[in-house]
Homo-oligomer: A and B are copies of this chain.
Amino acid sequence: VFRIGDFSRLTQVTVKALRHYDDLGLLRPAHVDRDTGYRYYSGAQVMRLNRILVLKDLGLALDQIGPFLESDLSSDQLRAMLQIKQAETSRRIEQEQIRLARIEAWLGEGGEAVGARIDVVLKRVDAQRVASIRQVLPRRGDVGQLFRALAVYRQRHALGASSWTVVWHDGDFREECADAEATFATSDQLPADDRICASELPLVESMACVVHHGPADSIGSACRALLQWVDANGYQLAGPERVRMIERGGTNGAADVVELQVPIG
C-alpha cells in the first residue's frame, strides 16, 4: 500500500494529477484515512492508472475515460471510437504539416523582416448573390467604367450593396484584353436591365487573400507575394482571381484598400 507520493514516484504520474483523477472519480485511492484525509493506493491500482494513461494518450478527454474503465462498451463501440480518434489525429497531423510548410516557406525567403512582409491568409468565402456586368476590357484600368455603370443602376433602383468585387476571368493575370466581371453583392431583387444581370459568385472553400493599401497601379507587389505564397506552400490556382474593394480613400484612389483573392486547391 502506497502513500500518494510513493505511488506518484512508482507510476511517474504527478501527485497533482493523481488528486485530480480522484476528484473526477477516475481513480479513487484504495483507502482514505478518515481523520487525516491521506490517500492510500494499492499496487493493483497501477493497472487501472495505466489504463487511464493509455486512453488519455489516445486523445480521450478525462470525462470520456470513465465509461471505458467500467467497460460498458461493446467491441463495436470501441472500434468506432478508435476510428474517430484515428481521423482526428490524421487531421491534426495534416494541419501541423501545413503549418510546418508555411514556416519553412518563410524561412526559405531568408526570414524576411516582418515589417516588409505581405501577409497571406487563407479563408472560406461564401457564395454571394450579386448584380453583375461582364465585358472584355482593353486594359484592366478600364474596370472603373463597369463600376460606374453598376453604381448608377444601384442608385436608380435604391439597392443595398454590401461589397464590390471584380472577377478577372482569364486566369492569366493579363493587363490587356482582360475579361472582367464587376459586381456588387446584394440581397435585393434586381430589376431587369440591358447591361446588368443577376448572378452569383460561387463559394470558395480555400481562398488565399492579401490586402493592398494604396493606388491601384501599385498592386503588383501584393499580387506577386500572393502568387509566390501559393507556390511556396504547394498549392495550385483553382479559379479566377478576384479583387474586392474594402475602402475608398484619397484622391483617385490613392488610399484605397483592396483585397486580392485567388481560389486555391
List A residues at the B interface (Cβ < 8 Å). Answer: 1, 10-12, 42-44, 46-47, 50-51, 53-54, 57-59, 68-69, 71, 73-76, 78-79, 82-83, 85-86, 89-90, 92-93, 96-97, 99-100, 102-104, 106-107, 110-115, 117, 119-121, 123-124, 163, 209-211, 213, 246-247, 249, 255, 257, 259
Given A75-B111, A111-B82, are A99 and B89 also a contact pair (CB < 8 Å)?
Answer: yes
Q: Which residues of B contact A257 (CB under 8 A)?
A: 43-44, 46-47
User: A107 contacts B89, CB within 8 Å?
Assistant: no
- A123 touches which one: B12, B85, B115, B119 (CB < 8 A)? B12
Q: How far is the CB of A249 from chain B (nearest CB, A)?
A: 8
Q: Which residues of B contact A247 (CB under 8 A)?
A: 1, 42-44
**A to B CB contacts below 8 Å, 24 in the list:** A1-B247, A12-B124, A43-B246, A44-B255, A47-B119, A50-B119, A51-B114, A51-B117, A53-B119, A53-B121, A54-B119, A58-B99, A58-B102, A58-B106, A69-B114, A71-B114, A73-B114, A74-B113, A75-B112, A82-B106, A82-B107, A89-B103, A93-B93, A93-B97
- A89 touches which one: B71, B100, B117, B249 (CB < 8 A)? B100
